Structure formats: C-alpha cells, structure tokens
Structure 1
Amino acid sequence: MNTNPCTLTTGEVRFSYLHVFQPYAQQQGAEPKYSVTLLIPKTDVATKGLIDAAINAATNNGVSSKWNGIRPPQLFICVHDGDGGRPSDGMPFGDECKGHWVVTASNKNAPFVVDANVQPILQQNEVYSGMYGRASITLFPYSSNGRKGVGCALNGIQKLRDGEALSGRVSAEDAFGTPAPGTPAYGAVPPQAPVYAPQPQAPAYPAYAQQPSAVPAGYPQQPAGPQIDPITGLPV
C-alpha cells in the first residue's frame, strides 16, 4: 500500500506522446527517458485534488532538501492548462488537450505497463498514444539550470480501453481514397486466357519407298517386244 504523499494513481486519463517501451529524447543531445503525457479531464476533480496534494508535499520536501529552506517565489509546476498556451513557446495546445489538465511524466527506468487485469502487456502495438488508462506518478522537487520546481516521475501505466490514435499518421485510404470495386491491386498479375495443352498427334510413320514407274536413269532400257494381234495371234 502506498504511503508516500507524493505518489498517486490517477483516474482514467488519455495518453499522449507515449514512450514506455523504449526511452526517447525530447531534444537532440538530451538524455533519453521513458515518458508519457497525461491528459486529465478537468471534470475529474478527484485526480486533480490528489495531484495538488502531492505538489504541496513535494514542495515542502523541496524547501527542506533542495532550496535551502526557502520556498522559491517562482515555482515551475508540471501541471498545465490544456485550454491555455504551451509553457515552452506560448502556442496553443493541440485540440486533444482542450478541457484537460496536461502533465508530462518521465523516468530513466522502464515503467510497468499492464492491462485492465494488471497483467503485463507484451505486445507493444497494443499500447499507443490516444488510448485510455490510469497512471502511477510521483511528484518530486528539483533544482536544475537555475530553475526550481516540481516535476513528475512515471512509475507505470495501466491500459483500460482503446481510443482514437494520436500518432498523426495518415492511412492509405485517407490519402488516396477507397479503390473502386474490381480495381486490381498494384502489382497484381492480370488474368490471362487459359492455355490448353496441345492435342497429341498421330505419330508419323516412315513412308515406304515407292516403286519407280520407269527404269532409273543409268540402266539400259529393255527393247519393247513385238505387238501381237489379239485375233490371229501373229506378230503385227
């Protein structure tokens, strides 16, 4: 059972910028970390209350352990208003952030990733930006590069249900439309007329030599005999 006032489990949130299987560097040269952005509905006042309480506890820890006993007049907090501007450049958050609190949690160590039955999810394609679930996070104080504030560490996530992907990828159907019925797929071999096997033919038998009607050239001709009168029987 959790007794750390800085650690909490959220209600159902939507996951964005999800990197829980491989660490990811937000900027070139930055240290890769496992991370996820949590989109917390503003209607979930219970989760927001838990986060506010954890921020207060982390701030008190920071006064005693990080900030030399002084609460900084300007404290950077990891919770942002999705209906406002990004803290980095002031530009509006994406449409998916409207009506939500936006919190980015990260960790150098790999978080646990489980399903609704608290069983490990091994198929990475089941986990993606846009799905819904819960997260275990820990708020902590920090002092880095002249900034003092309260950050958010990611302990793990639980997938509860699917949602529309937020990857920004375009499907082939969206790009090119649905092919007309009967349109052959690219690379498919068009049907050809069937080729029938040739019918067997009767074997050719050797031609027998024909008897010459005349004596071949080069042989002496035999003289013709006398003609016989068929009535008298005498030579004509």
Structure 2
Amino acid sequence: MFINVSTKTAPQIVKRESGNMIKTTDPDDVYSGVYAMVSMNFYAYNTAGNKGVSAGLNNILTTGKGDFLGGRASAESDFGDMEWEDDFEDDTDDMFS
C-alpha cells in the first residue's frame, strides 16, 4: 500500500536512545529506506470544484536503519578515492567569480 503525505512546515523528528525519546536534526537519521512511524491527519477538501481527501504529515519517530532505496551513490563512494592536488581549491576560486 502507498500513501502520499505532505506538510508545509517541517515535522518534528524523534528517535529513541537509551529508552528516551530525543529530537534529532541530523539529516542522516531520515532517508528513503529508514524504518519509522509517523503521525498524520486526514482532511477533506472542496476547493474550486475539486473534492477529495488528503493526508498531512505531523511527526516522525525513526525506529531503525534500513537499506537506502534510492539509486544515487553517496558522495564518499563517488569522490572518496580521488587523489587531490594541494592547490585544487586555489584553482577553483576563479571559477565562480
């Protein structure tokens, strides 16, 4: 089953550590594939001839790490093995001016 929920404001994201619920702001804690529970609300709308039911996202409780579901590689796997010249950063200064 699939359901699409959205929110105009950032939801609170919490996780449990040592039996306590703590807020997290670490973007690595939430990703496509993480196990989580969410609270959401359903609401009806009737606007400009469009009628329906939508769902809003309230809060997220992460419960475990899962496999990343996206097809994108991590930056570490893309660039981790590169050999860098010491003056690389100096060469890029003119690129954006």
Q: In structure 2, the residue corresponding to 1:115 is in which secondary structure? A: strand
Output the amino acid matched with 2:83. G
Are positions 1:112 and 2:31 aligned together?
Answer: no
Residue 187 of structure 1 corresponds to 83
* TM-score, scaled to structure 2: 0.67
Judging changes above 3 Å, is the alpha-carbon distance between structure 1 residues 145 and 119 closer, same or farther for their aligned structure 2 residues?
Answer: same
Larger Rg: 1
> Whole-Å Cα distance in 2 between the matches of residues 121 and 187 of structure 1?
34
Task: Please report how far the alpha carbon of residue 145 of structure 1 lies from its aligned counterpart in structure 2 after TM superposition.
Answer: 4.1
Q: Which segments of 5 or more consecutive residues in structure 2 lack a partner in the other structure? A: 86-97
Q: In structure 2, the residue corresponding to 1:103 is in which secondary structure? A: coil
Residue deviations 1:27-68, cap 9 Å, x none?
xxxxxxxxxxxxxxxxxxxxxxxxxxxxxxxxxxxxxxxxxx
Task: Please report how far the alpha carbon of residue 146 of structure 1 lies from its aligned counterpart in structure 2 after TM superposition.
Answer: 2.4
Task: Please report how far the alpha carbon of residue 167 of structure 1 lies from its aligned counterpart in structure 2 after TM superposition.
Answer: 2.6
1:135 counterpart (31, 38, 45): 38
Residue 88 of structure 2 corresponds to none
Task: Please report how far the alpha carbon of residue 122 of structure 1 lies from its aligned counterpart in structure 2 after TM superposition.
Answer: 2.0
Judging changes above 3 Å, is the alpha-carbon distance between structure 1 residues 188 and 136 closer, same or farther for their aligned structure 2 residues?
Answer: closer
Task: Please report how far the alpha carbon of residue 118 of structure 1 lies from its aligned counterpart in structure 2 after TM superposition.
Answer: 2.4
Aligned length: 79
Output the amino acid matched with 2:9. N
Output the amino acid matched with 1:118. M
Q: Which has the higher strand share?
A: 2
Q: In structure 2, the residue corresponding to 1:136 is in which secondary structure? A: strand
Residue 49 of structure 2 corresponds to 146
Question: What's the % identity of the aligned pairs?
Answer: 33
> Whole-Å Cα distance in 1 between the matches of residues 44 and 84 of structure 2?
61
Q: In structure 1, the residue corresponding to 2:28 is in which secondary structure? A: helix
1:162 counterpart (49, 58, 65): 65
Output the amino acid matched with 2:6. S
Q: Which segments of 5 or more consecutive residues in structure 1 lack a partner in the other structure? A: 1-100, 176-184, 190-236
Tell me how large the CA RMSD over aligned residues is: 2.5
Judging changes above 3 Å, is the alpha-carbon distance between structure 1 residues 149 and 186 closer, same or farther for their aligned structure 2 residues?
Answer: closer
Output the amino acid matched with 1:111. P
Residue deviations 1:84-131, cap 9 Å, x none?
xxxxxxxxxxxxxxxxx1111111122110003421012112211110
Judging changes above 3 Å, is the alpha-carbon distance between structure 1 residues 150 and 123 closer, same or farther for their aligned structure 2 residues?
Answer: same
Residue deviations 1:126-178, cap 9 Å, x none?
21111001000011111234221111011111000000112320358x88xxx
Higher RCO structure (Cα 8 Å, ≥6 apart) = 2
